[in-house]
Amino acid sequence: MTPIPLLSALHASHAGIWLAEEGRPLATLGRGEALARAADTPLLMVNAPLLGARLGHADLSGLDLLELFAFLFPAQFVIPTVAGLARAMGLPPPESDAQAAALIPDLARAMLVWTERTDWAEREGAWTGLGQLERLRWSWTPLLRGRIAQPTRAERWLFSRLPQWEEQPPRPQPRPVTLAEPDVMARLADLTGAGAETREGQRVFAGATAAAFAPRLRGESPTVVLAEAGTGIGKTLGYLAPATLWAEQAGGAVWISTYTKALQRQLDRETRRHYPSDAAFRKHVVIRKGRENYLCLLNLEDALQGGFAGRAAVLAQFVARWAAYTRDGDMVGGDLPGWLPALFRRAGATALTDRRGECIYAGCPHFRTCFIERATRASQGADIVIANHALVMINAARGREAQGTPTRIVFDEGHHLFDAADSTFGAALTGREAIELRRWVLGPETARRGRRRGLSARLSDVASYDTEGAEAIEDAAEAARDLPGDEWLRRVVERGPQGAVETLLGAVRDTVYARAERDGREADPGYGLEVDLAEVDGALIDAATDAARALEALLAPLQRLTKRLVAVLDLAPDWLDGPARARIDGALSALGWRCDLLMSWIALLLRVGGPADPAFVDWLAVDRVEGREYDIGLHRHWLDPTRPLAEVVLRPAHGVLVTSATLRAGGDEQTAIARSGAGHLDAPPRWVDVTSPFDYARQAEVLIVTDLKRGDLPALAGAYARLIEAAGGGTLGLFTAIRRLRSVQARIADRLARAGLPLYAQHVDPLDPATLIDMFRDDPRASLLGTDALRDGIDVPGDSLRLVVMEGVPWSKPSVLHAARKRASDSPSGYEDRLVRARLAQAFGRLIRRADDAGQFVILSAAMPSRLLTAFPADVPVRRVLLDEALAAVRSRLGSGAVLGQESSNGSQTEGVRGQA
């Protein structure tokens, strides 16, 4: 076997930079020297983009161990740090940065040696994949070539290895059954397992939620159960008991819908208690996401055959390795490591999914192995379908999948139903949306490689053989040229728009900049600007009228084409062979969606200059990040988005359970009823309330720090640093503005790193939030800073999270939509307070996840109104203190051993894949 050459490793944190050269003492380097060494010879490193960010050189490259891991062990989980890799490879994790640097060469050697093992489970495809990567000059190939033996039999091509799905007969409708309480309790006992302590709250919850599965008494009048269950009730198993029982007895499917990926992953684990074998799990449980999450095999094939170049082409090879081993082809939150696209700076990752709706369905050569089609079909025969709120709503709104329409739905994280409905049922005519539509109709207009094709290429048979169809396609292409094209934003900004829609966007931009100032100062410099769509001037009205005409000119041929395609399917002319019929079927589905989109845009434009529709809120916006504009457009949201939610999702269902730990969303039962859409139904919902079993008085404490001056950034940063030091890490820092988060992170990261306290930050570190949470959870001395997504989507039980620090009262952003809803509410100040209480309750909910958790919740705001304190559980002590007192309280809890001093006990964390080897 080829000997492994001596390798040097580069490691950096906010505390310093280290170079480990085999046979030499560990050296510390300056930034310039480190970059020079990295440019000189390929150095071993872990997570090059993160290392590059630490060194201030985004394009840093070398022998990244994470790429090697992704090649050797595709579809396997690992925390993308030296410690994470060490655990995965069965080596002791380092205890300091210096040890981490020294360990990297050992890790590389352990991984290279793995290729010699006969039990390497992912060997198939490695030899062929390496050959492809060698052509792309992947940096690891010289070290792997010669180690990976050529297989005696030619390896199967990825596309012939994937299993085909089977068409299933239509499922009969579920039998009406009423669940018997003893059966529900017995199922709950099975799920919790022998020897588990009986949790009374969980039994009450399970018994009460079973009502959602009772037979429906009247059409369009589902049984709706609203259940608020405090943290620690064990509500997931609580509703899985009646849900699995009903699915078996009735022969139907229960859809469980979540808002966050974290809960989807938890449900994935919990459902295995009832379906422990892989075969049973695959048969009975399906995870469904929006199609834009899944790998499109046709796009991958195109990328592998020259559609991608440079680093994107290397990523495509890794994705091809992964595709052969993945459980379900989910590229976002599935078993493709979240850090993998980030290693390639996201180049190409989104182009491998079906983001633009260009799927050609049965006309695709990979249709029978397509991951999306497999998941869709599997859900039609499954007992439990784990989905998300957006997918449930979009499927219902677009009338997709008539076969598998959900009739029994559990909405977990039900407090997010309102927000999910808000985005699903809103409309936005923006430059980015419009150019997507133009590309869908016209295909690429430059000499780009790739399979992206316009409507005429996708329907080439119709275009060639059917005169009426061909005319409609030609007219649509002609009209689509009036939509924004490449470089639209530059032209709009430079006042040289092309076409009616670009002209409209220019008028929108002028109006926004004219009106979005506040007292001569912008509210949030460099970030999004928006204004009401009201009292607009003649230029904007004229531009909207012309743009509406242009969109109607596109809508008409698309509608004609739809009708023609339906007729062609009926007429079945000679040229209509199987593949052509399949292409037309696929096109019809996509056309319906595009026509709906165009109609919503036209309705929005026709409203410009006319009387306001009280059911909607309309506004104009310029989207910016750090002063850079990236989109311009008009927006329309429902004032109450639960109206369409009730119509298209709730009313057709038979039984719906909406549950959450914070279902009242800072208000009362009426708030929960209003925000779930249940208030729009004929029959009133049932209300269930089960309080948390946690001893908050003993486990938690809220500290309101009163001596920090508002707007004093250095003081804010200093407070964060001191609190994190006092807690020894384990801190989640929550911000309401990205700008302040970045300023605080820049001021404190080095100081904390020197104390051995790693700090990760959303919007700063080049990693997705889920990976950052994994890294935070993995190291009890690490801390994490983030914004809204972390306030509610993070589940870190155990001592990795023992302190939550909020930068201030989380008031709502003063957006047009927020202001309109506030004005429309019975009590505008009560409305605002309720939203803040909901955010505080969600953030507090991150702290105590288990009966043995303990921690503190700190708010850095002297101005915290007492009326908002009802957001916290009634028995949790709340104190207003000076910063020094807060620090003393944090230190004393730390010293008492109530929180620290234990081994990491994150039972939910997946152990390393190689740990038991």
**Which residues contribute to the site for ligand SF4 (CB under 6 A)?**
296-298, 354, 359-361, 364, 366-367, 370, 372-373
CA distance 384 to 86: 36
- Residue 765 DSSP SS3: coil
Cβ closer to ligand SF4: 366 or 747? 366
- Tokens 């012939």, located at residue: 160
Minimum distance, C-beta of residue 165 to ligand SF4, in the bound complex (Å): 11
- Residue 684 DSSP SS3: coil
Cβ closer to ligand SF4: 453 or 781? 453
CA distance 64 to 596: 46
**Taking a C-beta distance cutoff of 8 angstroms, is the pair 343, 49 a contact?**
yes
Please give the distance of CA 714 from its chain centroid, rounded to a whole number: 33
Cβ closer to ligand SF4: 378 or 543? 378
**Taking a C-beta distance cutoff of 8 angstroms, is the pair 735, 861 a contact?**
no
Minimum distance, C-beta of residue 163 to ligand SF4, in the bound complex (Å): 14
Cβ closer to ligand SF4: 366 or 850? 366
Minimum distance, C-beta of residue 451 to ligand SF4, in the bound complex (Å): 9
CA distance 819 to 131: 59
> Tokens at residue 22, please?
């085999």
**How many C-beta atoms surround the C-beta of residue 255 within 10 A?**
26
Cβ closer to ligand SF4: 372 or 649? 372
Give, rounded to a whole angstrom, the gap between the first and last alpha carbons of the chain: 21
CA distance 77 to 334: 10
Partner residues linked to 12 by β-bridges: 17
Number of H helices, E strands in the chain: 37, 23
Cβ closer to ligand SF4: 214 or 362? 362
Give the amino acid at 386.
Answer: I
- Residue 112 DSSP SS3: helix
Minimum distance, C-beta of residue 348 to ligand SF4, in the bound complex (Å): 15
Residue of 588, 845, 653, 585 whose CA lies nearest to 220: 653
CA distance 568 to 826: 55
**Taking a C-beta distance cutoff of 8 angstroms, is the pair 768, 824 a contact?**
no
- Tokens 């872990």, located at residue: 46
Taking the CA atoms of 874, 880, 884 and 888 in sequence, report the sign of the dihedral they define: negative
Which phi and psi (to 5°) does residue 287 adopt?
-100, 125
Cβ closer to ligand SF4: 334 or 758? 334
Minimum distance, C-beta of residue 569 to ligand SF4, in the bound complex (Å): 19
> Tokens at residue 213, please?
């599965």
CA distance 564 to 441: 17
Cβ closer to ligand SF4: 108 or 375? 375
Minimum distance, C-beta of residue 367 to ligand SF4, in the bound complex (Å): 5
Cβ closer to ligand SF4: 356 or 891? 356
Cβ closer to ligand SF4: 112 or 364? 364
Cβ closer to ligand SF4: 274 or 291? 291
Minimum distance, C-beta of residue 24 to ligand SF4, in the bound complex (Å): 51
Minimum distance, C-beta of residue 116 to ligand SF4, in the bound complex (Å): 36
CA distance 742 to 487: 30
What single-letter DSSP state applies at residue 383?
A: S
Minimum distance, C-beta of residue 357 to ligand SF4, in the bound complex (Å): 10
Give the amino acid at 899.
Answer: V
